[in-house]
Structure 1
Amino acid sequence: MIASTKPSALEMEAIAARHAHLVQSSSKEGLKPMLICIGLVLYLAFSWWFFSIGHVLANANWGIAGTYLADWVSYEVRPEIEINPDGTMAVSYGRHSPLGKDPNPEWVMLDKEEVTRAIEAPAAATQARSKASSSFNFMAPDAALGAASAADQQTAVASRTEEVVTRAVVTYDRATRIEVSDKLVAATHAGETVTIMVDGSDRVTAQGDLPPWATQKRRGAKITLSFGLTGWAEIEGNEVSIRNRFFGWANFLFDTNSPFFGKSYGEVARLILSGDRIDPARSNLSLAWDNILYNAEWQHLDVWTKLLQTVVMAFVGTVFASLIAFPLCFLAARNITPSRVTNQLVKRFFDFLRSVDMFIWALFFTRAFGPGPLAGISAIFFTDTGTLGKLYSEALENIDDKQREGVKSVGAPPIAVQRFGVLPQVLPVFASQALYFWESNTRSATIIGAVGAGGIGLKLWEAMRTNSDWENVAYMVLLILMVVFVFDSISNACRSRLMGRSGH
């Protein structure tokens, strides 16, 4: 047994004197980290100046961004208060109100009166003209024309009684409310009240200074009231537009045309399990499921179909790309195919396919084939053929030649050499990479769908273009996330099994 001895201080000094470059760090080596940090700081400063990041952040409208995010998890009820020149009002909720037909929310209080209005009846003059015309004869034309002229000057006055709104009070929450009465709009928010006078036509006049939550671009123009997450309102000369925000997704299961609309979950369950048939031709369960699938506001069936279309696009495009890249990668690998010309031609072909982004291929194939899944499948197929071909050929060039030489030594034919000497080494890698691209293409198929390649991406883009259906956008984004999570877990489990590891 040999005992190790620690060098003495004198021996260490002697070693340092003979090999100073080994024990003393160079001054240049010490400067490298400092120079890297200085270069990084200069690069960030240049980027800050070149892209005007400070100016962009200072002028960004963060309020709009917050409103968009709030729209993802909420919905608005939008009563419109129309103001007549005589000060009376009419309230409407629009054709597609989430409250359904004949809405009467408790947060809108209306004072109504019956008003009798005088209306001119031109029918009397028309009737007199008709009689005068019938009495017209060739013997006395002047007399007939005179009678018709006298009848035109006579007008009958009819009266009509109708119900009108004389006062409207909209309560957003405890701190926010709007009262409209006698051509005056009183808005209260955050302890401040502003009174605004309207003329029933096109002019708006604020009495006093406007608070910070009220804006008016020019005198007499409309005034916008911003109440944060609670909602907002617009005041014009003849109309007050209310936007009251509520948390949640309105009518997610049943739209306003469904017989189950407005019923609680308990009432719906009782109708499905033991209630009388609403539609004699089908059970209540079948009717409820049909109403959910064909919900006009959320379009569940169409969204789910487009999502499945996206998954199929990613799967088919990846499978075809793997099948084409698999034989071509053997031609691109230098250690498998000795011909340099063949190697270069195949590799340049791979470079051409993958140098054009999938998004650009999607635009090209959308013009060639028209909108639809075929354009998306083709875009994924072209891009992934080039990328997988390159990855596969590099994996082949890095194999251990000992296994291949061992199979050759027993006199195996070339195909058997590849089958038993090469494939066992690279096949798990090939399958792992194909599975990863399949999972990645599920996300990519959503993006290329937005340019017309089909799938849920196109549906998502249509919802975003309306600038009002952000809750539908949130719904589709959540569905995409769920699908990506599921396929990511499946892909990871398959790759772990192929690579001989237990999945976690």
Structure 2
Amino acid sequence: MTVIDANRMREIEARYPEYFHRSFRQRFGGLMILIATLLYSLYAVWFFDLPKLFAEAHWERVGIYLSQWVSYEVQPELRIEDDGSIDIRYPRFSPLGDNPHPDWLVNNPDGSITVSISGTSRSVTVSKSETIVTAYGISVPVEVSSGAPKVVGPVPGWMTVYDDNVLADLGSAGNVSISVDRVKIRKRFIGWANFIFDTQSSFFDRPVGEVIGLIVSGSRIKPEQSNLSLAFDDIWNNSEWQHGDVWTKLFQTIVMAFLGTLLGSLAAFPLAFLAARNITPNRLLNQILKRFFDFLRSVDMLIWALFLTRAFGPGPLAGSGAIFLTETGTLGKLYSEGLENIDNKPREGIKSTGAETVLVHRYGIMPQIVPVIVSQTLYQWESNVRGATIIGAVGAGGIGLKLWEAMRTNANWENVAYMVILILIVVFLFDAASNALRHRLMGTKAH
């Protein structure tokens, strides 16, 4: 074991003072950051009143909305007439069409009707005097002959009795509302109803094989139009899913993002040369342009969209203009900072040969700044595809407005899911294309 005397120790301390004489910040900086983070977290919990917020939140709606994203409802209503007969009615725009005869609704010989909610384990049998709900392994009769529906026997936990009706919650399969003169059923199916052909289409409710046969070699349904053209028209003009309108609005969103980013980069490029201190040695002009970039960036794209929709009316022009203004500020700042960080030696070398300013910029600056320009511009373009969706919700056109309209109804959540999935696919594709193009132009290998 080596023994270090006092002189040797002082020599080591003098040589490495940063290890033996650390400042207060170096010794306790990490601890202070941790304490500050904890204090700020406690303040945020108090300021936003998070316990109350979580306690009063409607968490059950999350499951309801998610289930509506991937399923649809059919709502038959069974009305008990005065003569004892049962009339079956459906909403005006039922997924089953105008004349439905589903196999899960059976007319019994005694005049009653049995509706299968989920196979044989959950069903409803409706007669003149009573309604029998079968679920969770038991059958519960509900008398409907008196002034108000009455549950016979003990009321199970999945049933709720009100003054004028009884509600049976059958979980994800649906629910049943029973009153004296009618039984309303909400039966849920997995999938998206009528996604290809709506109820008005000539191909509606036909088997897949029959549809393919009609398109390939079948006789014309409409003499003036081929079956292939008719099928495409029916899909494109689907009244429930509006594929044509959704895809047109999606294309508008892509064009808005591309046009706004392109114009923003074209405007920011020359301004960045004037804003860079080492390129244009005019401090007043540099500061004016940099503050101009800050102004354009500080006003959010959504606010620009609100201003422009008031000026030009709702539509893609306002969206493209909002992206253009925001990107002029963002890219102008990024380009100018990139120019200020270049190596001046190549530029000075070319200038010493007596070359003109354009050639100095072309050969002394551009090779250094192009990778920054390409990378930042492609990233902003990719980001603006998402941004264009948001600003569309305030009237700037594109699929964002369509998405907002579907959400406002609070009923068409499957349509919301359809558009969200389309947006995700477009963002993924643009992300992959942007990365590939960036690596190709910069000469690097994509990982």
- Give the aligned partner of residue 395 of structure 2: 452
Q: Quickly say closer, same or farther: Cα 1:27–1:324, change in 2 above 3 A.
A: closer
Tell me the distance in 2 between the aligned counterparts of 1:52 and 1:262: 52
Counterpart in the other structure of 1:175? 121
Native 8 Å contact 2:79 2:88 kept in 1: yes
Distance 1:310 1:383 in 2: 16
SS in 1 for 2:97: coil
1:284 CA drift (Å) = 1.4
Shift of 1:472: 1.2
Residue pair 1:303, 1:459 contacting (<8 A) in 2 also: yes
Alignment match, 2:196: 253
- Partner of 1:282, secondary structure, is coil
Cα offsets for 1:370-428 (capped at 9, x unmatched): 11101101111111111111111111111111111111111112222222211111122
Which of 218, 238, 244 is the matching residue for 1:275? 218
Matching residue of 1:55 = 52
- Indicate which of 86, 91, 100 corresponds to 1:89: 86
Distance in 2 (CA, whole Å) between partners of 1:465 and 1:308 is 22
Amino acid at match of 1:179: T
Code of the aligned partner of 2:159:
A
Match among 11, 16, 19 for residue 18 of structure 1: 11
3-state SS of paired residue (2:3): helix
The 3-state SS of whatever aligns with 2:201 is coil
Q: Distance in 1 between matches of 2:265 and 2:67?
A: 43
Structure 2 Cα separation of the partners of residues 385 and 310 of structure 1 = 19
The reply on whether 1:214 has 2:211 as its aligned counterpart is: no
**Out of 43, 65, 74, which is 2:71 matched to?**
74
- 1:256 Cα offset (Å): 1.2
Per the alignment, residue 37 of structure 1 pairs with 34
Structure 2 portions without partners, runs of 5+:
none
Cα distance change on mapping 1:451 and 1:47 into 2, 3 Å: same
What is the identity, as a one-letter code, of the residue corresponding to 2:41? L
Cα offset, 1:501, TM superposition: 0.1
Which deviates more, 409-418 or 36-45?
Answer: 36-45
Match in the other structure for 1:288: 231
Amino acid at match of 2:2: A
Q: Determine if the alignment matches structure 1 residue 422 to structure 2 residue 370.
A: no
Structure 1 pair 194–31 and aligned structure 2 pair: CA distance change class (3 A): farther
Residue pair 2:169, 2:176 contacting (<8 A) in 1 also: yes
Please identify, of 298-307 and 226-235, the stretch whose mean Cα deviation from structure 2 is larger.
226-235
Matched, 1:465 2:414: no
Q: CA deviation at 1:32?
A: 3.2
- Contact 1:192 1:211 (8 Å CA) reproduced: no
Residue type matched to 1:483 in 2? V
* Secondary structure of residue in 2 paired with 1:10: coil
Q: Is the 8 A contact 2:128 2:145 kept in 1?
A: no
Q: Assess if the C-alpha contact under 8 Å between 2:149 and 2:178 holds in 1.
A: yes
The separation in 2 between residues aligned to 1:59 and 1:292, in whole angstroms, is: 43
- Give the TM-score normalised by the residue count of structure 2: 0.92
Q: Which residue in the other structure is 2:2 paired with? A: 9
Aligned to 1:224: 167
Give the superposition deviation at 1:228.
2.0
CA distance in 1, matches of 2:391, 2:137: 49
What CA distance in whole angstroms lies between the structure 2 residues aligned with 1:220 and 1:88? 25
Task: Give, in angstroms, the shift of residue 281 of structure 1.
Answer: 1.2
Residues 59-92 of structure 1: CA deviation (Å, up to 9, x unaligned): 3333221111011111111111223355543111
Do 2:80 and 2:128's aligned partners in 1 also have CA atoms closer than 8 Å? Answer: no
- Secondary structure at the counterpart of residue 112 of structure 2: strand
The answer to which of 420-429 and 59-68 deviates more is: 59-68
Alignment match, 2:303: 360
* Residue range with higher mean Cα deviation, 237-246 or 258-267: 237-246
Which SS does the other structure have where 1:336 is aligned?
A: coil
Secondary structure of 1:256 counterpart:
coil
Query: Corresponding residue for 2:134?
Result: 188
The 1:209/1:19 distance shift into structure 2, 3 A limit, reads farther
* Amino acid corresponding to residue 189 of structure 1 in structure 2: A
| Counterpart mapping for 1:137-176 below 5 A | 166-173=111-118, 174-176=120-122
Post-superposition shift, 1:9? 2.4
Q: Which moved more, 1:191-200 or 1:40-49?
A: 191-200
**Which digits, 9 at most, give the CA deviation of each residue in 1:268-326, with x for residues without a partner?**
11111221111111221111111111111111111111111110010111111011111
- Is residue 329 of structure 2 the alignment partner of residue 336 of structure 1? no
User: Structure 1 residue 497: deviation in Å?
Assistant: 1.7
Q: Are residue 319 (structure 1) and residue 319 (structure 2) matched? A: no
| Corresponding residue for residue 434 of structure 2 | 491
Letter of the 1:16 counterpart: M
Structure 1 unaligned spans of 5+:
1-7, 114-165
Contact 1:16 1:23 in 2 (8 A): no
Please identify, of 492-501 and 189-198, the stretch whose mean Cα deviation from structure 2 is larger.
189-198
How far apart are residue 187 of structure 1 and its match? 2.2
The equivalent of 2:61 in structure 1 is 64
Deviations 1:141-199 (A, max 9, x none): xxxxxxxxxxxxxxxxxxxxxxxxx4222211233222222243332322344443446
Is the partner of 2:279 in helix, strand or coil? coil
Deviates more, 1:53-62 or 1:473-482: 53-62
Match of 1:476 in 2: 419
Distance apart, 1:503 and its partner CA: 2.2
- Which of 98, 113, 120 is residue 101 of structure 1 equivalent to? 98
- Fraction of identical pairs, as percent: 54
Is the 1:432–1:498 Cα contact (8 Å) retained in structure 2?
no
**How many residue pairs get matched?**
442
When the two chains are superposed, the root-mean-square deviation of aligned CA atoms in Å is 2.3
Partner of 1:399: 342
After superposition, the Cα gap between the structure-2 partners of 1:294 and 1:188, relative to the gap in structure 1 and judged at 3 Å, is same
Per-residue CA deviation, residues 202-244 of structure 1 (Å, 9 max, x unaligned), is: x44445554332335xx41444332222112333443322111
Residues 265, 377 of structure 2: 8 Å contact kept: yes
Matched residue type, 1:92: R
Could you say what secondary structure the match of 1:399 adopts?
coil
Alpha-carbon distance in 2 for matches of 1:200, 1:479: 52
Change (3 A) 1:414 1:182: same
The answer as to whether partners of 1:83 and 1:183 remain within 8 angstroms in 2 is: no
Counterpart code for 2:113: A
Aligned CA distance change for structure 1 residues 27 and 435 (closer, same or farther; 3 Å): closer
> Does the CA-based 8 Å contact 1:195-1:206 persist in structure 2?
yes
When residues 15 and 180 of structure 1 are mapped into structure 2, their CA distance, relative to the original with a 3 A threshold, is farther
Contact in 2 for aligned 1:85/1:199 (Cα 8 Å): no
Inter-CA distance 47–277: structure 2 relative to 1 (3 Å threshold): same
* Pair member with larger Rg: 1
Q: CA deviation at 1:467?
A: 1.6
Distance change in 2, residues 1:250/1:402 (3 Å): same
